Copies of this chain bind each other. A is one copy, B any other.
């Protein structure tokens, strides 16, 4: 096993605490994949008095961020203090000291990325920033690596969850912009000062990064045409809907005939389109490559867990890069070969899920009661029932039932009973039901 990678964290706020917690909770799983431990050894905070949302355990915590970026025992500096000036200074110092850097700071990258990356290339270190765009959605890696064979035609996305939450509220709850904003603030989706979100600045930071990696152009934040969603009238959302559109706040980077259009603005999107149907605080990004066609990426764009997921992925990538040992490569089956374990793989009777079944029965009083009694006896809950006339056979009825999640073996026991009833006409049609949160 290789040495642990030693990480110094600047900032232990929401995201910093999320990273520390994630490494503590999934440390074994992460080591099974990465082949080496990712260990936070030092952290710098503004004030030692403040309570932390994480178990800081063996982490050496101080207030001197500069000491961390200069510490020869630190391999990777994780910049999570946000904002631009101090973050810029510390990241540049870390680079000058030969440290790799991971950051979630879109503001920093959008404004100073060109200088930062030039300095990093010069110093032979890597600055990673997956968490800077769309939180937990791996859009940077998708564009930089997975779509690297494509000429990218356009990138379009919902890259600010606050704005999308507000627009969803306006549509579904019929509230005004101001009411939706207040709700977002109450739920913690919007800051007390919502300027960066509702005026599109946060989205423009992210779009600057997306446009650059899509087209191979320098980061150009100040060239982005940026309109916010402040003051959108409920009337226009309604008219748009009547015309078959949904209003979404999109960031768009698009090759057009005369150049590249980079813009953040409220946008009418056809209602059947994928982007039109992304609701609440979620993010989604579409990327069109000339070979692959349209692709889409969806998930949580913010929050401690999602952001930490992206940050730790960057830390793992950095760890892999620090080693030329083949065992540091991405393992074929994701986990190190000696960490592949046999887990019990279930046979279908042990599956637990919802079930749909349809049975044709004699259309007599009491048949439905008999079927539902059978389910109740086996403690199978009913989600929905439908009774239908079959296309032929006038004296029959079709009973269609969707159950709540139940063990499949138990469901089959019930179906066997039902099939054996004298009032049952023929075989039972059975399909499984699955509800996966999205």
Contact = CB atoms under 8 A, between A and B. Distances in A.
Interface of A: 18, 22-23, 25-26, 29-30, 32-34, 113, 117-118, 120-121, 124, 126-127, 130, 136-138, 141-151, 154, 156, 212-220, 223, 225, 233, 235-236, 239-240, 242-245, 247, 250, 252, 256-263, 265-270, 273-275, 277, 284, 286, 288-300, 303, 305-306, 308-310, 312-313, 316-317, 321, 324, 326, 329-335, 337, 339-348, 350-354, 356, 358, 384, 386, 388, 391, 400, 402, 429, 431-438
Of A23, A26, A245, A438, the most chain B CB neighbours within 10 A belong to A438
How many identical chains are in the complex?
Answer: 2
Given A154-B436, A233-B429, A243-B402, A289 B309 contact: yes
Given A148-B312, A233-B429, A402-B245, A348 B225 contact: yes
16 contacts: A26-B151, A26-B291, A30-B149, A126-B329, A147-B313, A149-B309, A217-B345, A220-B345, A233-B429, A236-B431, A239-B400, A267-B431, A267-B433, A292-B310, A293-B437, A324-B324
Contacts of A150: 26, 29, 309
A341 B217 contact: yes
A297 to B, nearest CB: 6
Contacts of A290: 25-26, 305
Given A156-B436, A218-B340, A332 B265 contact: no
The secondary-structure label for the interface of chain A is: mixed
Given A150-B26, A335-B216, A306 B294 contact: no
B309 A438 contact: no
